Amino acid sequence: MRKSNLTLALTLCALMMTLSLAAQDTMSAQGAAPQTDKAAALQKLEKMAAALKLTPQQKQQVRPILMEEAPKLKAIKTDTSLGPLQKAMKMHQIADDTDAKLKPILTPSQYQTWEQMRAQERQQMMQKMENH
């Protein structure tokens, strides 16, 4: 595999693991009770609102985007017909779609912070993968 393909594959796997670990963190925070799509989306919204200092109007605009994203991510995670790389690629596409919808709502500074948050999560997952 060429280095660029390997890098892409590792990045996609890291994204998938990041999303899986985020879901696990959410579940463990709730005493391992399964989390509904709505609850996951609302928790993500609160995390974003705090980190990006969203205005009430922005929060209202972001909410339906995250509510739409949550069941899509859950469906991919639970789809046993997909391999890890396929799941990672689909999750990456959903994240890209979400980012495209968020960009016009967020200020340039907020969006830059959002991109940094995503990049940091991916980098942490890459490091964890390399250490295992």
56-99 tens-digit pLDDT: 999 999 999 999 999 998 898 899 998 888 888 888 899 899 99
Residues 77-87 pLDDT 10s: 899 998 888 88
Burial 36-69 (b: 16+ CB within 10 A, else e): ebeebbbbbbeebbeebebeeebeebbbebbbeb
The structure's pTM equals 0.69
Residue in 90, 60, 47 with CA at minimum distance from that of residue 72:
90
